[in-house]
Amino acid sequence: MNALPGPLNDNPRLDLWVSFAETGKVVVNTGRVELGQGVLTAMAQIASDELDVDMASVMVRSGVTDNMPNEGYTAGSQSIQMGGQAMAQACADVRALFLEQAAKAIGCNANELTVRGGKFLRNGALSGQDYWTLNGAVDLAVNATGRGQRKAIGERAHIGRNDARTDLPGKLFGEPVFIHDMRLAGMKHARVVRQPNKDATIGAIDEAAIRRAAKGDIAFVRSGDFLAIVGDDEPAVERAGAAAVNHVTWTNVEMPTPLQQEANWLVQRPVIDCLLGSPEPSDAQGRERFEATYSRGYLAHASISPSCGLAEYRDGHLTVWTHCQGVFPLRGALARMLKLDAKAITVHHVQGSGCYGHNGADDATADAAVIAMQMPGTPIRIRWRREEEFVHEPKSPAMLVKVRALLDADGKPSDWTAEIWSGNHNGRPGGGNALLAGYALPDQEPFPQANDVPEAAGGGATRNADPLYDIADKRIIHHMVTETPVRVSALRGLGAMPNVFALECAIDELAGRAGVDPVAYRLSITSDPRARAVIEKVAVMSNWQANASGGAGRGRGIAFSRYKNRAAYAAIIVDLEVDEEIRLHRIWCATDGGLIVNPDGAINQLEGGVIQSASWVLKEQVRLDGGTASFDWETYPVLKFSEVPMIDIVLINPTNSDVPLGVGEATAGPTAAAIGNAVSHALGIRLRDLPLTRERIMAALLQE
Amino acid sequence: MAKTFDFTVNGKPITVTLDNEETPLLDVLRNELGLMGTRFGCGLEQCGCCMALIDGQPEKCCAKPVWSAAGKSITTVEGLGTPALPHPLQQAFLDEQAGQCGYCLSGILISAKALLAKNPSPTRAEIALALDGNICRCGSHNRILRAVEKAAAVMRGIHP
Ligand code: FES
Ligand code: FES
């Protein structure tokens, strides 16, 4: 008997996970949703192995608030690590119950039976029984026990194999697979005239000017400071939405300045403090001291498509369609905002474009719901405008990280402090926060002070601030800044990217002081064998030459982290060239993600993380200037095809394990730091503030 | 005031009647013709999600008024191939599992098709440059580049 994986423990009824209602088909339910990461394919692989059924017979249902395990959010690289393990155990338990029943029906011992393609074989011969003949006799309305034997290494047919993604064909043949493509009978299109910030109130509305700009029939829907435009013709509604920005006046508008876009603005702001670990020693006891400050600005998720949501309120029931990451938390937040019973709301997940965290998806759905409640019987479709997504999606908080270390006689750290200033990384509606519309609606209950992601869940701003290296005394001083100039929430890896950037750049600086090669230095303070293995592997992959001199604008850098100090291990080496700008030549990555259900899918995720992080580091920062001045792809550029380097990724022992470690966010931190280290290697000067833009590089070169 | 516009879409003659001749071609494809494969990403001609071939040229349709396409021949991603008879590009993208969320892929397939029509054996750098007008936020770039290279090789084999 195994302890139940968390999500199965929370949702123990087996009929929530598996059913055999239609002959020849198995329906499995996962609370995880497809975000382009291939999770539904991986779930089908797991179910097919643990039930011994053909993959083609497995239908994966996902993301609806009816008859579905509540697994919270699809986030934090936990879909396989937690959700996949839960699915596997649920299926194994179901298989065990059916084996018992089959033995009874056949009149034999369960250990004479095996399962192939959903059919029960007795000593290798067909018994005439299968899941579907036995379905009536097996009661799945029982709790999981963990008694079902999981497939051992070597018995797996699909887990560990590169099964093709089930969602990809529809996307390549132009099928209407995205929420943006949904059309409901009688549906109206809508756009919101966005409240510029949470305390702003509507002054005057020039309805006539907006109607003129629409060049088509539109209607207004208003509740408090929530104002929307609704109509049958999407282009007319879009034109009206765009024009309304100039024809509605607001009071209490905040005007953020460029100073506020920088991480160092956070210091001296009101904070909630927290110390994790022992207090910092006041006396260095003769040890050499190292101190450096690293920072990163606000980042946008910048999903390729603006958010979209649909809603219909009919006969006292609200149905919404969303591409958010958590249908149950969204249902709770909608119930609270709309003062409805959660039972009167059904939330369906439909795929959107990649989100990488908490983007505008929940808010767009909420917008549609607010309008639908005012227009019972009429389905409403909202699609945010591009500018609206950039300006109003929650941003990843800017972070300032001060690293202080005390060094022993060999130049190795024996005491480590990471002092962090950051806004909250948990602005999700499920965390008790407002949906955007909620700030504009009348009669809303006040929201409690938001809390960052708890340490037990990997922390938010503190994520990966604790080095995995052998350091005797370590601590994190966390200053959570309570008011930020832009709304903030979760983006891929949360604080891991800035923290790993700070920590791994600091380690390189310490290696340089000690006169030791950066790879050798890391290995000299690493005893975790899996950490050593990825560092050694990536050094071999890239033909790392110890103590190779950089300069002349060419450089090479390494960085390592274990995501959340408990998920996948990743080590990255970057080759690049810098003159005024950085050109990435090649990136190598070695990852130990434990058991990998779909190696090609994992590599796809790891590579996506590398490229996205490279984009963050080279280009990305949300600009503030009287408002959010990053509002389209020209004011918020991202990495282009011609700027993406060659990337080699190797998975260590991907099928030789029983325990998966989340991989989706593992490369973001080490990629950032490896680029930082390579730039320093190339230029002989250290840049500690992200992004590493042309202006910053030029300024640093001029200072030399 | 309704006006009528004729064009060819994926080989079929189409007539649409619209009140507003400034309606973007993308809205006509999606909302009038129900061809959802051409995606909306920005409406600003910046991201490439909305690309279709217009008389063989890869064009962004999100800000292109419908009148400007009248009389022309339009190919959307739906016109490239079908699951039963995929275009070599679509097959290569499947083989390489090129894509994550897939929202960018329609526009990328169109850009790539136009490139291969002009240059049947592009280098990787030439492919990358041709796709610089298409944003992929998920980081599927290298798979996409591999897939286009592969499709080019297959197409050279088919039409030597
Ligand atoms: S939607 Fe047309 S270029 Fe972005
Ligand atoms: S695959 Fe998501 S944007 Fe390209």
Domain containing residue A478: CATH number: 3.30.365.10
Query: Exposed, middle or buried: residue A154 (CB in 10 Å: 0-12, 13-18, 19+)?
Result: exposed
The band of A617, judged by pLDDT with boundaries at 50, 70 and 90, is very high
**From CA A66, how far away is CA B52, in angstroms rounded?**
39
Single out the residue in A121, A139, A169 at which a domain terminates.
Answer: A169
Q: What is the pLDDT of residues A628-648, one digit of tens each?
A: 999 999 999 999 999 999 999
Nearest Cα residue to atom 4 of ligand 2: B136
Kindly state whether residues A416 and A504 are assigned to the same domain. Answer: yes
**From CA A671, how far away is CA A589, in angstroms rounded?**
9
Tell if the CB–CB gap between B134 and A352 is shorter than 8 Å.
no
Query: What is the residue-averaged pLDDT of chain A?
Result: 95
Q: A672 is in which domain, residue-wise?
A: 399-425+460-703
Kindly state whether residues A324 and A406 are assigned to the same domain. Answer: no
The residue of chain B nearest to residue A648, with distances taken between CA atoms, is: B142
Q: Does A644 touch chain B (CB under 8 A)?
A: yes
Kindly state whether residues A382 and A411 are assigned to the same domain. Answer: no
Spacing, Cα B40 to ligand 1 middle (Å): 6
**For residues A301-318, average pLDDT:** 98
The number of domains in chain A is 3
**From CA A689, how far away is CA A624, in angstroms rounded?**
17
- Which tokens sit at A161? 């194999």
Q: How far is A321 from chain B (nearest CA, A)?
A: 18
**From CA A397, how far away is CA A38, in angstroms rounded?**
28
Kindly state whether residues A189 and A117 are assigned to the same domain. Answer: no
Residue A531: inside a domain, yes or no? yes
Q: What pLDDT does residue A2 have?
A: 55
Kindly state whether residues A42 and A23 are assigned to the same domain. Answer: yes
B103: nearest CB among A178, A600, A641: A178
Is the pLDDT reported for residue B87 higher than 80? Answer: yes
- Interface residue of A172, A390, A612, A630 to substitute, partner B, most B CBs within 10 Å: A172
The band of B159, judged by pLDDT with boundaries at 50, 70 and 90, is very low
Q: Which atom of ligand 2 lies at the shortest distance from residue B139's CA?
A: 4
Q: How far is A300 from chain B (nearest CA, A)?
A: 11
The residue of chain B nearest to residue A356, with distances taken between CA atoms, is: B138
**For residues A239-244, average pLDDT:** 97
Q: Which residue of B30, B45, B111, B135 sits with most ligand 1 atoms within 8 Å of its CB, as the best mutation to test the pocket?
A: B45
**For residues A595-619, average pLDDT:** 96
**A506 Rama class: left (phi>0) / alpha (psi -120 to 50) / beta:** alpha
Spacing, Cα B113 to ligand 1 middle (Å): 18
**For residues A72-81, average pLDDT:** 80
**A201 Rama class: left (phi>0) / alpha (psi -120 to 50) / beta:** beta
Kindly state whether residues A529 and A668 are assigned to the same domain. Answer: yes
Place of tokens 């592009």: B122
Nearest Cα residue to atom 3 of ligand 1: B45
Residue A455: inside a domain, yes or no? no
The Cα angle at residue B107 between residues B103 and B109, in degrees rounded to 5? 105
Single out the residue in A124, A142, A169 at which a domain terminates.
Answer: A169
Residues of B with CB below 8 A from A617's CB?
none
Residue A435: inside a domain, yes or no? no
Is the pLDDT reported for residue A658 higher than 90? Answer: no
Q: Which residue of B51, B96, B131, B137 sits with most ligand 2 atoms within 8 Å of its CB, as the best mutation to test the pocket?
A: B137
Q: What pLDDT does residue A510 have?
A: 98
- Interface residue of B110, B142, B150 to substitute, partner A, most A CBs within 10 Å: B142
Q: Give the predicted TM-score (pTM) of the model.
A: 0.96
In degrees and rounded to multiples of 5, residue B111 shows phi and psi of -60, -45
Tell if the CB–CB gap between B40 and A164 is shorter than 8 Å.
no
Residue A433: inside a domain, yes or no? no
Kindly state whether residues A241 and A130 are assigned to the same domain. Answer: no
Residue A273: inside a domain, yes or no? no
Task: Please report the ipTM that was assigned to this predicted complex.
Answer: 0.97
Kindly state whether residues A141 and A226 are assigned to the same domain. Answer: no
Kindly state whether residues A620 and A697 are assigned to the same domain. Answer: yes
Contact call for residues B103 and A305 (beta carbons, < 8 A): yes
CB distance A168 to ligand 2 below 6 Å: no
Residue A444: inside a domain, yes or no? no
Domains and CATH numbers, chain B: 3-79 (3.10.20.30), 88-158 (1.10.150.120)
Tell if the CB–CB gap between B103 and A171 is shorter than 8 Å.
yes
Kindly state whether residues A650 and A635 are assigned to the same domain. Answer: yes
Q: Where are the alpha helices (DSSP H) in A553-690?
A: 599-619, 668-683
Residues of A with CB below 8 A from B111's CB?
none
Residues of B with CB below 8 A from A585's CB?
none
**From CA A315, how far away is CA B131, in angstroms rounded?**
49
Q: What is the pLDDT of residues A408-458, one digit of tens each?
A: 999 999 999 999 999 999 999 877 788 999 999 999 888 777 789 999 989
In degrees and rounded to multiples of 5, residue B132 shows phi and psi of -65, -20
Kindly state whether residues A416 and A377 are assigned to the same domain. Answer: no
Single out the residue in A169, A193, A224 at which a domain terminates.
Answer: A169
Q: How far is B45 from chain A (nearest CA, A)?
A: 10
Q: What pLDDT does residue B160 have?
A: 35
Percent of chain A with pLDDT over 70: 100
Tell if the CB–CB gap between A609 and B129 is shorter than 8 Å.
no
**From CA A201, how far away is CA A573, in angstroms rounded?**
51
Omega of the bond leading into B83 within 30 degrees of 0 (cis): no
- Ligand nearest to the Cα of A352, by number: 2
Kindly state whether residues A145 and A220 are assigned to the same domain. Answer: no
In degrees and rounded to multiples of 5, residue A401 shows phi and psi of -125, 120
Q: How far is A173 from chain B (nearest CA, A)?
A: 6
A633: nearest CB among B77, B93, B135: B135
